[in-house]
Amino acid sequence: MRRSILTSLSEEPDDKASSLDKDKDMINYLMGTLTSLYSKYASLGALRFAAQMVPYEVSIGLILIVRLVSAFGSKKAHFELWIIGWAALSAQGPGHKGPSTI
């Protein structure tokens, strides 16, 4: 009696023999997917799928990098750069100690 993979994965194993059947069904499924790699159209479909996933992974990676950098102290670095730029461009010069009182 041949069982499909979905029914064999959804059933609970009653004994050791049924769990061995599940393992065999899974191995057969994996071997079937590996043999489809020799088909030209299956290989092209896999390459197309991988090519479609790359832009999403890159954008998610950039979003995560921006979030992590902004979470860990970049505000202090930006503030220090702003102060250095402000002091260099101001008439008071970089050696100025602070705002003067009137």
Query: Is 71 part of any domain?
Result: no
The residue segments making up the domain with residue 24 are 1-38
Q: Could you tell me the pLDDT band of residue 29, with boundaries at 50, 70 and 90?
A: low
Secondary structure of the chain in the HEC alphabet?
A: CCCCHHHHHHCCCCCHHHHHHHHHHHHHHHHHHHHHHHCHHHHHHHHHHHHHHHHHHHHHHHHHHHHHHHHCCHHHHHHHHHHHHHHHHCCCCCCCCCCCCC
Q: What is the pTM of this model?
A: 0.30
Ranges 1-15, 62-76, 78-92: which has the least confidence: 1-15
Query: Is 25 part of any domain?
Result: yes
> What is the total count of domains within the chain?
1
Q: Could you tell me the pLDDT band of residue 77, with boundaries at 50, 70 and 90?
A: low
Query: Is 11 part of any domain?
Result: yes
